[in-house]
Structure 1
């Protein structure tokens, strides 16, 4: 299969690229900064913005005769630092507008499958989020990312796309040295039934799940919370 990737240079997106290529798939990645992603066989890199429909169209045509039939979006908002209190840099609707652009361009090209990485606490999963997690999200600037993910969640349901929203619980990144190398995840439904404060999920696990969902056509037009 051939994929369109947005957010491929991020900490989760890079694992998505590796997973796809290791399975023999090909991909074109639209990245905002030239040199932010290492070129590898099977990967085409296009520099541009997900806020630009023309840049997304250019990415669709970047690897003829291949044409992406599935998009995987792992974009996230950007703050000045990793501190949860750091100021937001991304525009307020960065995720929502980027996703809307991808959906419009894909639909116009006759493709309808999109898999989007979201976060636990969005939509109907808010009610099952532990109260300490809710407090953290309300009192820090992480709330702006949650709000933007919420807009994606609402607006993608209004499209004709065969969408899937993968709501990850607290992410564990490579530099946090996860002790469990298992890449299988637990699925907790759209509401995150049974979520706890200690839940987490590694970026490797999320990336593998995103690819599995995209390749196998799982959870179409639904959201799913995942944890290790």
Structure 2
């Protein structure tokens, strides 16, 4: 398959690139700066913004003679001034939601309907099953802005005719390369859209999220569904 990737230069997105290429797929990545991704065979890098529909459209045709992508994977997240949960938000309001809406509109007009989006546990109907301490953390830190934006993404994709999947990742772990390779080979556990059974100790490695997202796109799993994942 040939994929459009949005957010490929991020910590999860780079694992998506590795997973796709290792399986023999090809991809075009829309990134803000070309130097943010290492050029690799099978990967086309094009610069632009997901807030720009013309940039997204250009990306669809950026890898001739390959045909247009058959699916898209979005692994965008909001940006703060630092990794501190209290750091000020840098991304504009609705950055994730508007980016996702733009991607969906351009893809639908091009006749492309498969979409997998990385989301987060706590969005939508999974909030009720989030551990109480996690709710406190999300409510009283600037991480809440990311949660709110992911919630708007959830609303946007459900209004489309896309064959979407929302991968609601539990607390993300950013491991070293060796650990990531192990996690990539491990199957994540799925807890449905509501995340029933989530605990404070649950987390998921970025490599596991990447592998699961590719599997969903490739095999047509959890179409028009949200799913909480842990490992």
TM (norm. structure 2) is 0.96
**How far apart are residue 155 of structure 1 and its match?**
1.5
1:128 is matched with 129
1:216 is matched with 219
**How far apart are residue 64 of structure 1 and its match?**
1.6
Superposition map of 1:99-114 within 5 A: 99-114=100-115
Runs of 4+ that moved beyond 3 A: 175-180
Deviations 1:155-208 (A, max 9, x none): 210101000000000000025985992431000000001000000100111000
CA distance in 1, matches of 2:10, 2:125: 26
Superposition map of 1:6-21 within 5 A: 6-21=6-21
User: Does the CA contact (< 8 Å) of 1:199 and 1:227 recur in 2?
Assistant: yes
Alignment gaps of 5+ in structure 2: none
Residues 60, 218 of structure 1: alpha-carbon distance in 2 compared, 3 angstrom cutoff: same
**How far apart are residue 223 of structure 1 and its match?**
0.1
CA distance in 2, matches of 1:178, 1:28: 27
User: Does the CA contact (< 8 Å) of 2:53 and 2:102 recur in 1?
Assistant: yes
User: Does the CA contact (< 8 Å) of 1:178 and 1:202 recur in 2?
Assistant: no
**How far apart are residue 45 of structure 1 and its match?**
0.1
2:93 is matched with 92
Q: Secondary structure of 1:116's match?
A: strand
2:71 is matched with 70
* Number of aligned residues: 228
Residue of 189, 197, 200 corresponding to 2:200: 197
Q: Secondary structure of 2:167's match?
A: strand
CA distance in 1, matches of 2:34, 2:136: 38
2:228 is matched with 225
1:115 is matched with 116
**How far apart are residue 15 of structure 1 and its match?**
0.3
Residues 13, 193 of structure 1: alpha-carbon distance in 2 compared, 3 angstrom cutoff: same
Residues 18, 196 of structure 1: alpha-carbon distance in 2 compared, 3 angstrom cutoff: same
Instruction: Please tell me the root mean square deviation across aligned C-alpha atoms, in Å.
Output: 1.4
CA distance in 2, matches of 1:44, 1:97: 24
Residues 18, 180 of structure 1: alpha-carbon distance in 2 compared, 3 angstrom cutoff: closer
Alignment gaps of 5+ in structure 1: none
User: Does the CA contact (< 8 Å) of 1:172 and 1:178 recur in 2?
Assistant: no
The range that moved more, 175-184 or 57-66, is: 175-184
**How far apart are residue 65 of structure 1 and its match?**
2.8
